[in-house]
Amino acid sequence: MAAILENAKQTISRILSDAAFIFTDNLDESARPTNESWDAEGVSLQFFGTPAGELHMWVSKGFACYAAANMLGLDDNSDEAGKKGIDALKELLNMIVGNFITSVYGDTPVFDLGLPKDLDREAMAADFTKTNTIWLEAEGNPILFTIDIHDK
C-alpha cells in the first residue's frame, strides 16, 4: 500500500499543478487539523473494475473557490468562483482518480468511474480514523486524501 500511496501523492500533485496551478507540499503531522477543528468540505469518487475503490478529497472551506478561480481564470473572491468551487473540486478528483488508476494498474485494464459526490461531516469523522491517507498543503491550506481499495 505504501507504493500505491506514494504513486497517488505524485499523481495528485501533478494534476493539481497542471489543471489548477495549485502547488502542493507534504503537510507536517504537527500541522494537521483535527476532525473537530477543521472547517472542511469533501468530495468522493468511486472506481469500478479489478480492483475497485474510492478516493475522498477534503479541503478547507474557501480553498475550493481558489481552485475554481485558478481553473477558470477568475478572481478567487468572485461570486462565480464561489458558485463553482465544489464543482471544480469534483472535477479535480475525477482527473486524479482517472490518472491514478492508470498510473498504478497500467493502461490495459478497463475501469469505470462513478459520478463525484459531496461528503458530509460524518464521512470526515470516518476518514480521520483511516490509515490510507495523504496529507498535503497548498497556499497554507491542508488537503486530505483517503484511498480505499478492495478486490471487487
Contacting positions for other proteins (CB under 8 A): 15, 18-19, 68, 71-73, 84, 87-88, 90-91, 94-95, 97-99, 101-102, 107-115
Q: How far is the CB of 18 from other proteins (least distance, A)?
A: 5
Q: Is the peptide bond before 33 cis (omega within 30 degrees of 0)?
A: no
Paired strand residues for 150? 52
Spatial distance between the Cα atoms of 1 and 97, rounded to a whole number of angstroms: 16
Provide the minimum distance between the beta carbon of 77 and other proteins in the complex, in angstroms, as a whole number.
17
Q: Please identify, using beta-carbon distances, which residue of 6 and 109 lies nearer to other proteins.
A: 109
CA 113 from chain center: how many Å? 15
Alpha helix segments (H runs only) across the chain: 2-20, 63-72, 79-105, 121-127
Nearer to other proteins, 60 or 94 (CB): 94
Least Å distance, CB 76 to other proteins, is 14
Residue nearer to other proteins on the CB measure, 5 or 19? 19
